[in-house]
Chain A
Amino acid sequence: MDTYMTTIAVASIVTSGITISIGVIGPAISEGRAVATALSSLAQQPDASATITRTLFVGLAMIESLSIYCFVVSMILIFANPFWNSAIV
């Protein structure tokens, strides 16, 4: 049915755009704050730089993974959309 295919297509594309754009706001702000705090604590205690750097990277990876989840959902909606595949058949 052509109307259903159009609806599915429009809904998936709009949703994937909104998902990725809203989803990276939070992680971006918090990563900026994490790096800023790490820099100021490095300035206060330069000889703990190995520990601070390692903890910073682990923390950044944890925060980054949330935006990766949003990206994966967005990619699934565009490229591996189950409703689109079943609507074509």
Chain B
Amino acid sequence: MRLSPDELIFWQYGFIKLNATIMYTWGLMLIMIVSSKIITSKLSSGLNRSIWQNFLEIIVTTILTQIEQVGLSRPRKYLGFLGTLFLSIAVASLCTIIPDYEPPTGSLSTTAALAISVFVAVPIFGIEEQGVGEYLRSYTEPTLIMLPFNIISEISRTLALAIRLFGNMMSGTMIIAILLTITPFFFPIFMTALGLLTGMVQAYIFSILATVYIAAATRTHKAKPEIGE
């Protein structure tokens, strides 16, 4: 029984391997880029829009609203990164409907890559918003003794992001694989539906957590008002 799509290798040349994870990721990228290019080639701002343009607008405005609600004041700046995170994980999980497909997020390499990109993006956005000195000083909030604990918490929440997504996706595919060998007809369909639901929830969780981390890093500390005056 396969633990992850990493083990299904299509082509190998010495050290370089093309495994199922990479091929499925490329396929998803192709689908998303081609479909959004086609939909956004003829945009109209009147009342007469196509269904697909409406669909994309709903997605973009919902993501912008969510980013603003978490506490980031200019959501357009972060829409590229956070929207891409949400959409890639959501589409990767939605395509489970297609037979013979395994989500590439069911492999620890993909989820570790996503978590590392969040780990790198949080200081970049924080420094962009606050400046290097202010951002580094925020690690010593509230006291200097908290400095190692803040650093450890940064690393551990990156690890938790990667393993949470990997565990949810891997458990979904593994339960379906096990059930297919036991009761082949109806029960696997319910488990696939449950896997779809948890995939969408995990996509939302991943992007909301990334938003919360970025909001915590870009929160400017204004001067505290004097008490009693």
Contact surface of A with B, Cβ cutoff 8 Å: 50-51, 54, 57-58, 61, 64-65, 68-69, 71-72, 75, 79-80
Contacts and interface: CB of A to CB of B under 8 A. Distances in A.
A57 B205 contact: yes
20 contacts: A51-B69, A54-B208, A57-B204, A58-B208, A58-B212, A61-B201, A61-B202, A61-B209, A64-B164, A64-B168, A65-B160, A65-B163, A68-B163, A68-B168, A69-B167, A72-B170, A75-B3, A75-B170, A75-B174, A79-B3
Given A61-B202, A72-B170, 5 more contacts: A61-B164, A61-B205, A61-B209, A68-B168, A71-B167
Contacts of A75: 3, 170, 174
B171 A58 contact: no
A65 B167 contact: yes
B167 to A, nearest CB: 3
Contact-size category for B: 20 to 34
By CB atoms of chain B within 10 A, which of A50, A51, A54, A65 has the most? A65
A68 B164 contact: yes
Contact of A72 (B1, B163, B205, B212): B163
Interface in B1-50: 1, 3
Interface in B131-187: 160, 163-164, 166-168, 170-171, 174
A79 B1 contact: yes
B171 A68 contact: yes
Closest 8 CB pairs of A and B: A68-B167, A61-B205, A65-B164, A72-B167, A79-B3, A65-B160, A80-B3, A71-B171
B197 to A, nearest CB: 12
